[in-house]
Structure 1
Amino acid sequence: MLLTRDTLPDTIADIAALDDLLCRPSQPLIDDLTKVDGDIMILGVAGKMGPTLAGLAKAALPDRRIIGVARFSDSSVKDWLRARGIETINCDLLDEAAIAKLPQAPNIVFMAGRKFGAEGDLSLTWAMNAHVPALVAQAFPRARIVAFSTGCVYPFVPVDGKGADESVAPNPPGEYAQSCVGRERMFEYFSRRFSTPGRLFRLNYAIDMRYGVLYDIASKVLQGTPIDVSLGHVNFIWQGDAAAQALRCLAHCDTPTSPINVSGHQILAVRDLAAKLGALLQREPMIVGTEQPTAWLTDTSQATKLFGLPVVDTERLIVWTADWVARSMPNLGKPTKYEVRDGRY
């Protein structure tokens, strides 16, 4: 079954149903990927979003070779991928010799990076977020490279505007976000040097039932935990939509590589989201703090022009999340820390 707005379920029963939904391709995704020849290799596939992207690619291109590369410290991720027909390769991307042994796939989605715990070992954060991209960009000069980045490379912008568009120069607080600028600059430098086509995929907050901004807010509402609205505005996107847009970027690469913002098209108030989740969960949110006039927000007009609006809208995500949290369904134990203003993760 193809993914359309008309085929979305009212509730997501369990993790198996969630995985199936996340990996369900749309016709526009299939159409874009058929314009792109060759295998697809996903570097850093074992993170929160990697399995979704790999499974989605395989579902859209069942006869194409999809390769997932990671250290696979959690072997269950490898089992999950292989069960879906995705080839796996163990590789430490900090090892230049190991990178050199990888297949020369013509299409690469780069998802490796370090965020959580970044402040605990800043040298490792910079190595993963800037050194590894330089190694990869040199190892695959003839590939199309869609490199995951983050909206956190931008400075804070006014909450009453449209968000930062791709013309806004990166100038973020905190070394994590600065290292992400380093990642982009490495891909940009080698893209110019080798004429490597690509896109810098500036993603703001993917939503999966097991983690994300909505999960964080809903959990606090249910538990009666204070919700700080100092960073009071966000935008986010269903993880399946984000993965689909990343794959579709392979058909929309630029030479040299260029940034594209990906998130929901709406700027949403945390206070309003808490109220809607509270109504569904029959709990009164405990709001603390005062909304500041700026936040990390992106303008996704370019992505909307290329890909259309996300298939899953905000209201459905709110209903799905409230239902998931109310049933005490599993979570990944990885808060987004969306409320952090100093860039320290």
Structure 2
Amino acid sequence: MSLAGIENEDQLELALSEPGPEAIAAMRDVPGDIALLGCGGKMGPTLARMALRATEAAGVSRRVIAVSRFSDAAVRDRLESWGVETCSGDLLDEEFLRSLPDVPNVIYMAGRKFGAAGNLPLTWAMNVHLPALVAQRYSDSRLIAFSTGNVYGTVDRRTGGSVESDEPNPVGEYAMSCLGRERMFQHFSDVQSTPTVLLRLNYACEFRYGVLVDLAEQVASGQTIDLAMSYVNVIWQGDANSRTLAALPLAESPAKLLNLAGPEILRVRDVCERLGELLGHPVRFTGDENDDALLNSAVEADAQWGPPRVGVDDLLQGIAAWLQRGGERLGKPTHFEVRDGTF
């Protein structure tokens, strides 16, 4: 899959929602409508659109329903223009949650990270209490729930990254609450026999946001790059979307854990130097490099579906070209460099 020629947001969102063969196969094999809860964020809209496109490519019919507060009305309008149905409301409102359509497939994307330290009770409500409510509301559905590689804690890069069988070691209340989210879905998967997959994501990236965009913006503006978090792995959001849909047939009870990440462990220094070449800017660094970082191993997912369609250098070239032409950014830094778990 080539990212060359993407010059505007319409083209970008078309690329982000292009389903891979694994997503099309899943939409053929898994019957019924799909609801995406917390669909108004960075990843949800193109995932919903991909579900529709994969459904059409599979030659089947289904409703795709996006649920969010939709604080940005333009996101809701865009989803509806693509043919996605929308429901607007607060998922923490149990009456609203009960009013949502009964569907056999649910993708849970709601959560709180940015500003988590500023209102920790709300962080725990969103990341632990709400998953319990959703798991009970959709006890008879197939559930895919997003988690994060932060639950593992940092590991030595020479290990190849954390694998699904590793014991969690979360640092900070955000990561702890994310482990709490997993435990709620695991508990209700056990007691209700709800087929579930928990996706531990590190890190989805496109042209408007993500770790590589954060680094590219720092390079372009002449900032000094802090090397404290010296390694990272990323995955093109379009590939993360496709693998999310492909995970639906894998849902089982007890809940299945699956890492969602790129296949390579990237050295931040090397990434920045490559971005410096592409952007025509010198790069300055500060701090000592560390061998440990928040890293996921994608070995299991890659064995299931093969390597991602988009390689890292293609992504770097696309991001650099996007920045040089003044392309839109979401203004939502990942804070991947945080080592103490405070977001």
- What TM bracket, shorter-length normalisation? over 0.9
The residue aligned with 2:4 is 10
Alignment length, in residue pairs? 339
**Which of residues 16, 20, 37 in structure 1 aligns to 2:14?**
20
Q: 2:63 & 2:322 partners in 1: Cα distance?
A: 34
Displacement of 1:269 after TM fit? 0.3
Unaligned runs of 5+ in 2: none
**Which of residues 319, 322, 328 in structure 2 aligns to 1:321?**
319
**Which of residues 305, 308, 328 in structure 1 aligns to 2:306?**
308
The residue aligned with 2:41 is 47
Displacement of 1:11 after TM fit? 3.4
Quote the RMSD (CA, aligned, Å): 0.9
CA contact (8 A) 2:203 2:235 kept: yes
Displacement of 1:29 after TM fit? 1.4
Q: 2:112 & 2:233 partners in 1: Cα distance?
A: 21
The residue aligned with 2:210 is 212
The residue aligned with 1:37 is 31
Q: 1:20 & 1:156 partners in 2: Cα distance?
A: 35
CA contact (8 A) 1:33 1:251 kept: no
Q: 1:281 & 1:67 partners in 2: Cα distance?
A: 40
**Which of residues 174, 177, 181 in structure 1 aligns to 2:175?**
177
Q: How does 1:217-296 map to 2 (within 5 A)?
A: 217-296=215-294
TM-score (norm 1): 0.97
Q: What do residues 283-334 of structure 1 show as CA deviations (whole Å, max 9, x unaligned)?
A: 1111111111210001111111112111111110011011111122110011
Amino acid at match of 2:292: T
Q: How does 1:125-140 map to 2 (within 5 A)?
A: 125-140=123-138
Displacement of 1:271 after TM fit? 0.1
The residue aligned with 1:142 is 140
CA contact (8 A) 2:230 2:293 kept: yes
Partner of 1:160, secondary structure, is helix
**Which of residues 57, 69, 72 in structure 1 aligns to 2:70?**
72
Q: What do residues 251-276 of structure 1 show as CA deviations (whole Å, max 9, x unaligned)?
A: 11121112100110100000000000
Runs of 4+ in 1 over 3 A off after TM superposition: none
CA contact (8 A) 1:146 1:201 kept: yes
Partner of 2:181, secondary structure, is helix
Amino acid at match of 1:19: E
TM-score (norm 2): 0.97
Displacement of 1:233 after TM fit? 0.0
CA contact (8 A) 2:89 2:96 kept: yes
Amino acid at match of 2:125: A
The residue aligned with 1:154 is 152
Q: 2:228 & 2:6 partners in 1: Cα distance?
A: 31
CA contact (8 A) 1:216 1:336 kept: yes
Partner of 1:57, secondary structure, is helix
Q: Using the aligned pairs only, state the percent identity.
A: 47
CA contact (8 A) 1:11 1:323 kept: no
Partner of 1:283, secondary structure, is coil
Displacement of 1:26 after TM fit? 2.2
Q: What do residues 80-129 of structure 1 show as CA deviations (whole Å, max 9, x unaligned)?
A: 10000000011211111211111110000000000000010000000000
The residue aligned with 1:91 is 89
Amino acid at match of 2:53: A
Partner of 2:264, secondary structure, is coil
Displacement of 1:172 after TM fit? 1.1
Amino acid at match of 1:24: E
Displacement of 1:73 after TM fit? 1.2
Partner of 2:62, secondary structure, is coil
The residue aligned with 2:52 is 58
Q: 1:212 & 1:48 partners in 2: Cα distance?
A: 10
Amino acid at match of 1:73: S
CA contact (8 A) 2:65 2:87 kept: yes
